[in-house]
Each structure stands twice: as structure tokens, then as C-alpha cells.
Amino acid sequence: MKSCLVVDDSKVIRRVARRILEEMNFEIREAADGKDALESCSEKMPDVVLLDWNMPVMDGLEFLKRVRALPNVRQPIVVFCTTENDMSHIRQAMEAGADEYIMKPFDREIIEAKFSQVGLM
């Protein structure tokens, strides 16, 4: 079973994402901001991170940069999932090392399509 860390400051979004991903047979952990997510990663690196952008404490982009800078770890696949839907944000995310990018609102079909593009299904 592959593991997915869902990072979003909204509990509702985390719950929706969890339900979809559990049906897709992922083992889910949750984090409410980038710092929380980094700690979770240092305990156990997930196979994939579903990552919000705007969060308190540490935002998604900062989290991504820090994870990508970690030496000697098995790098996770990172899929952004954010309301930021303009080209400059998308470029910034991809340049920082994201693998895919979901613009909210999302549904099961979009998550499945994006996860299959990065070879998770």
C-alpha cells in the first residue's frame, strides 16, 4: 500500500482528500501546515505528498524547497493542490520541484488523472 501525506490547513479539505485517496488504496497521514508536514516526513517519508500552497506557519512552496534540499532521502512525489491557478504560480511550483499541479476545486477524477500521470496508479 502506498502512503500519501495530505497537507492542508483546512480540515474539511483534508477529510475530502482522505476519503478519495483511501478509496484509491492509499494509506493516509495528515498535516496542517508545512512545518507539521516536514516533521511527519522526518518520521517516515511518504510516497506522495498532496500539498496546499497557502498555509500558516510554513507554506507549501517553502515545504517543497526544504524537502527537495534534504540529502540522502528517498524523495517523495509532490502534487500541489491549491486555489492558486495562474501560470506564474504553476511555473514557480514546477521549478521548485513539484511533479504535478492540481487547481482547486478538485474531484476524484482529477486526483486519479494526476496521480496516474506521475505513475502512482
Partner 1 sequence: MRPEDFEFLSRMLKRRSGLTLNPDKVYLLESRLTPLARRRGLDGIDALVAELRRTNSETLAREITDAMTTNESFFFRDRTPFDIFERQVLPMLRQRRAAGKRVRIWCAACSTGQEPYSLAMILKNQEAQWRGWSIEIIGTDIARPVLKKAEAGLYSQFEVQRGLPIQMLMKYFTQVGDQWQLAPEIRSMVKFKEFNLLESFAPLGHFDVIYCRNVLIYFDQPTKKEVLERMRKIMPSDGVLFLGAAETVLGITDAFRPVRGQRGMYLPADAEETVVAAAGGA
CB 83 within 8 A of CB 106: no
**97 part of the interface to partner 1, by CB under 8 A:** no
Window contacting partner 1 (CB under 8 A); options: 8-16, 28-36, 40-48, 88-96: 88-96
CB of residue 40 to partner 1, shortest distance in Å:
25
**83 part of the interface to partner 1, by CB under 8 A:** no
**85 part of the interface to partner 1, by CB under 8 A:** yes
Cis amide linkage into residue 105, ω under 30° from 0: yes
**119 part of the interface to partner 1, by CB under 8 A:** no
How many residues bind partner 1, per CB under 8 A? Answer: 18
Cβ contacts of 116 within 8 Å, gap of 6 or more: none
